[in-house]
A = this chain, B = another copy of it.
Amino acid sequence: MRLKIAILTVGSELLEGEQADTNTAAIGRILGAHGYRIRESLTVGDVEADIEEALEDLGRRRDAVIVTGGLGPTSDDLTARVAARVFKRRLTLNEEALRQIGEHFQKLGRPMHPRNEKQALLPQKVQVLPNSRGTAPGFYLSHQGKGFFFLPGVPDEMEAMLEASVIPRLRERSGVDFPQQEKVFKIFGLSEPKVEELLESATLPEGVHLAFGVEFPLVLVKLRAQGQEAGSLLAPAEETVRKILGNFLIAVGRDTPEETVARMFHRTGRTLALAESCTGGLVAKRLTDLPGASAFLERAAVTYANSAKRDWLAVPGEVLDKDGAVSRPCALAMARGIRRAAGTDLGLSITGIAGPEGGTPEKPVGTVFIALASETEEKVQGYRFPGDREKVRLLAATMALEWLRRYLGALPPAEPE
């Protein structure tokens, strides 16, 4: 039996523009990995009537409903109370839940705030779902053959509980997973219609479905297949996609471009130093989001001012005076200078005009130079990226990562020490 699963996220902040709902995506990702598909996701505010209507409506149309949010300690957290009403159960202080909340504060070494007791007020006859990372336990109840999971809205707490408490119960209900396998290819440097055109003439095995998406600045190509032979269907399809788009393939699966690049640094044993101007530390930030970046990233300089370019990167004064900070010679000097200062294998630089101010007719907003220096080679290129400040910075940083990917991809693995 294929379960029809719906998500209900509760929180006025999600409808009022203060916060984007990231829980739906996280649930979709985790359930998808176990072969479950989400049919719909609904968001309502902290309004009793709206939560009530949503629970009733989704309960009618779906087999399982995963509810997040509204379990917190404050007075606008209404989910447990509304659930009690909808499913005609009394709201009582759940001893098991209270014990778990107490234990959580004990572990933190902090006193429990009396207000947190409210989080143990649950409908009767539910299974308490432990929360290993936060105060609010979740709960599970079954009503007229449908399963309802109530989880806190805090993303990392919710995710851990999905794996620990929701997946096992879904599996009990559906008997068996129907795993859908998927391969995602992340393309940088080609437009979405161009990607679709390139793939149109490709022959994919029957049973392999092709889909597209955009995750700016990347275009996503997704291959999907279902059932027992999914793996053997996807393998040749993947080869076809790699043959056609391989040159522009910046990451695969859940990897980000920075993860691809970090893995290549670990594989090749090369080291890096960065000199960023218009991206202001974005490349360094992205590479250090990942654990282990210190193994290859020696240092990074955000050199906004010319004085910093001179002191730290030894950019010659005449380059700054004659060509300017946003120029091919300056980018080259920055890459060379940071490499020499850090004593790394590679030096990479980015200098440009991210906007909205600072553009000129010759060098409009979006003008960016990227340079890479190694022991044997120096390379520099100019770009004119479209879009606003955020897009220009994102395009420039991603292009810099793409340069590293292409450079490192051509290298052999490091010798074992």
Chain A residues with a Cβ under 8 A of chain B: 11-22, 24-32, 37-46, 50, 54, 72-76, 108, 113, 115-116, 154, 156, 182, 184, 191-194, 196-197, 211-216, 220, 222, 274, 276, 279-285, 287-289, 291-294, 297-305, 307-308, 311-312, 341-343, 354-357, 386, 388-391, 393
Contact = CB atoms under 8 A, between A and B. Distances in A.
Given A37-B15, A73-B192, A298 B308 contact: yes
Given A289-B390, A301-B301, A302-B301, A41 B15 contact: yes
A7 to B, nearest CB: 8
15 contacts: A18-B25, A19-B215, A21-B21, A41-B43, A113-B194, A154-B214, A154-B216, A276-B281, A280-B300, A288-B304, A298-B304, A298-B307, A298-B308, A307-B343, A308-B342
Contact of A291 (B212, B282, B297, B357): B357
A19 to B, nearest CB: 6
Contacts of A294: 304-305
B17 A41 contact: no
Interface centre among A16, A30, A40, A343, by most B CB within 10 Å? Answer: A16
A373 to B, nearest CB: 17
A152 B194 CA distance: 19
Contact of A213 (B18, B308, B391): B18
Nearest to A220: B18
A14 to B, nearest CB: 7
B42 A50 contact: no
A272 to B, nearest CB: 10
B44 A43 contact: no
A302 B300 contact: yes
A299 B282 CA distance: 14
B299 A302 contact: yes
A280 B288 contact: yes
Contact of A281 (B29, B116, B285, B305): B285
Contacts of A108: 386
Contacts of A72: 192, 212, 214
Contacts of A389: 289, 291
B24 A29 contact: no
Nearest to A155: B216
A299 B308 contact: yes
A24 B14 contact: yes
Contacts of A54: 40
Contacts of A39: 15, 44-45, 50
Contact of A26 (B11, B17, B220): B17
B291 A280 contact: no
Given A41-B42, A43-B41, A73-B192, A18 B197 contact: no
A16 B28 contact: yes
Contact of A76 (B211, B279, B298, B303): B211
Contact of A156 (B41, B74, B220, B388): B388
B16 A38 contact: yes
A223 to B, nearest CB: 13
Nearest 8 CB-CB pairs, A to B?
A17-B29, A280-B288, A281-B281, A281-B284, A299-B308, A17-B28, A300-B302, A20-B25
A193 to B, nearest CB: 4
A18 B29 contact: yes
